[in-house]
Amino acid sequence: MLAACVFATILCGFFGIIFKQNLLMKIIAMDVMSTGVIAYYVLIASRGGLFTPILSQGRPVAYADPVPQAVILTAIVIGFSIQALMLVGVMKLAHDNPTLETHEIEKRNTP
């Protein structure tokens, strides 16, 4: 059930990118899709019964792999920086155009 919700989030973001005409809505839809992909990765990487990899004198137990956690943190930071860069680009477009609708911007900028 949780996987279906994650796939629905990814699809909502994907269809938002395709069907929305406003550039800000496209950026938000891309962020929703990115969140869904990260949630899917966490869903796949999570397993029960694993412990954090902290050195102790106790008996040997199954440890969780820290690499997926590092990959997810990196993906979150890169996604945030890409979103910030796209918002700066939209701000530059908004300075030159009265609207953020893609078809209007294309009409104004075609030779």
Which of helix, strand or coil describes residue 101? strand
pLDDT of residue 74: 95
| pTM of the full structure | 0.80
Write out pLDDT tens, residues 2-56: 899 999 999 999 999 999 999 999 999 999 999 999 999 988 887 776 777 777 6
Under DSSP, the state recorded for 64 is P
Domains and CATH numbers, the chain: 2-46+65-109 (1.10.287.3510)
Distance CA 102, CA 104 (A): 5
pLDDT higher at 68 or 4: 4
User: Around Cβ 13, how many Cβ atoms within 10 Å?
Assistant: 21
